[in-house]
């Protein structure tokens, strides 16, 4: 059985995004009036009144630079919510983030070159942790899978990365 590790956006990357995002735009923090934004820095939802920011993030970029991969056009960027200041990251043993009944997610697999191997839509209607866990186990059964990005199916937004443990 393959084990895997769920990763939030790394603190050094967050420090840069809180100044200038991956699209070259300055970070503009604001007070979240309603809460519920999926925070990629700590892998939980925001609560009303927290200072957050919506920034552009290229989830493959740093992994590709560290591994020598060349994802080409797959080096896409998109919007992610983060805390406006350091939050300490995810809570230990916090489980699979953003896996709640009724959500639709995609699990997108990437190879060592950073190219998409395939994807799968996940309906989290029943036992969300089991559905996501099974999809990740199946993804890493393919030896070509280097990492998996879990995304919101409704908006296509990147939620978190998963790597082999």
Domain ranges within the chain, ordered by starting residue: 4-83, 104-164
Mean pLDDT value across residues 27-42: 97
Q: What is the mean pLDDT of residues 106-121?
A: 96
Task: Please give the Cα distance from 151 to 101 (Å, whole number).
Answer: 15
pLDDT band at 152 (very low <50, low <70, confident <90, very high): very high
Query: Three-state DSSP class for 72?
Result: helix
Q: 54: phi > 0 → left, psi -120 to 50 → alpha, else beta; which?
A: beta
DSSP 3-state of 101: coil
Whether pLDDT at 114 is above 60 = yes
- pTM to 2 decimals? 0.93
For the sheet with 158-164, list strands across it.
4-7, 158-164, 147-152, 104-110, 116-123
Is pLDDT of 159 > 60? yes
The mean of the pLDDT values for the chain is 94
pLDDT at 65 over 80: yes
Cβ pair 111, 144 in contact under 8 A: yes
What per-residue confidence (pLDDT) applies to 165? 81
pLDDT band at 1 (very low <50, low <70, confident <90, very high): low
How confident is the model over 100-105, as a mean pLDDT?
91
Q: What is the pLDDT of residue 92?
A: 79
> What average pLDDT does range 142-147 have in this prediction?
96
Determine the average pLDDT of the residues in 22-31: 97
Alpha-carbon torsion angle 40, 44, 49, 51, nearest 10: -20
């Amino acid at each position: 059985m393959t084990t895997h590790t769920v990763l939030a956006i790394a603190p050094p990357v967050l420090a840069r995004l809180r100044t200038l995002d991956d699209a070259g735009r300055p970070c503009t923090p604001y007070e979240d009036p309603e809460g519920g934004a999926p925070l990629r820095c700590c892998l939980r939802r925001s609560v009303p009144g927290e200072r957050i920011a919506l920034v552009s993030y290229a989830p493959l970029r740093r992994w590709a630079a560290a591994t020598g991969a060349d994802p080409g056009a797959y080096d896409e960027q998109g919007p992610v919510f983060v805390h406006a200041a350091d939050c300490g990251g995810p809570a230990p043993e916090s489980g699979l983030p953003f896996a709640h009944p009724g959500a639709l997610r995609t699990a997108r697999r990437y190879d060592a070159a950073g190219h998409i191997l395939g994807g799968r839509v996940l309906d989290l209607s029943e036992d969300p942790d089991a559905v996501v866990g099974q999809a990740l186990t199946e993804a890493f059964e393919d030896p070509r899978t280097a990492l998996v990005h879990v995304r919101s199916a409704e908006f296509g937004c990147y939620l978190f990365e998963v790597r082999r443990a």
